[in-house]
Chains A and B, each alone.
Chain A
Amino acid sequence: GNSVTQMEGPVTLSEEAFLTINCTYTATGYPSLFWYVQYPGEGLQLLLKATKADDKGSNKGFEATYRKETTSFHLEKGSVQVSDSAVYFCALGEFQGAQKLVFGQGTRLTINP
């Protein structure tokens, strides 16, 4: 079945550092890809998405490019802030009637001032 594998956490960086969180997937067909973020005490929020190969999703300074050849959707940000501290989830969308999401295990990110 479809699956998502994320970089193991936790990840700790200093403010203004460059961030990469790796995500690879296994899927039949051409799924949509997503990054969700869960801030402390809050619900899951969609951060960005890409619906086809070579699409780049971006939001709040974060970017991820849908790479079909490497089955990857790595999350990047050029200069992180303390407020980016959260748990990040990579996910793929299976459309089989329902628009189900298959999530990775999550990566906890802590940014120190």
Chain B
Amino acid sequence: GAGVSQTPSNKVTEKGKYVELRCDPISGHTALYWYRQSLGQGPEFLIYFQGTGAADDSGLPNDRFFAVRPEGSVSTLKIQRTERGDSAVYLCASSRLGANYGYTFGSGTRLTVV
């Protein structure tokens, strides 16, 4: 597509529920990143995919967070047993292989845990 698409744009869920956030990168972009932006803060790195594999998941805060990219295109960030502290904007970005930080960011999913 023309840009990085993230769905839903907003998600409200109850504490303890499971949520999935979807990212559809730019066609042909092999690198995909997830970041989390808490209110009043800059984005923080969560996980990086090169193709289908998670090449770096060092930013995932705990084992309630998991992400997949089974066909090397669309990615899903999964959060189990959500907590109020998970409330944030979750950003996805993609880039071509070898691009020097040539990220394109999506508009994000605003997750609110009540």
Contacts and interface: CB of A to CB of B under 8 A. Distances in A.
Contact of A43 (B42, B95, B106): B106
The DSSP consensus for interface residues of chain A is: strand
A51 B103 contact: no
Contact of A91 (B42, B59, B95): B42
Interface of B: 3-4, 31, 33, 35, 40-45, 48, 50, 55-56, 59, 91, 93, 95, 100-103, 105-108
B101 A101 contact: yes
Contact of B105 (A45, A51, A93): A45
Contact of A99 (B43, B95, B107): B95
A32 B35 CA distance: 19
Interface residues of A, number: 25
Interface of A: 4, 32, 34, 41-46, 49, 51, 89, 91, 93, 96-106
A78 to B, nearest CB: 26
A103 B43 contact: yes
Given A98-B56, A104-B42, A105-B41, A43 B4 contact: yes
Contact of B45 (A4, A34, A43, A102): A102
Contact of A98 (B3, B41, B48, B107): B48
A4 B44 CA distance: 12
Nearest to A42: B107
B2 to A, nearest CB: 12
A107 to B, nearest CB: 10
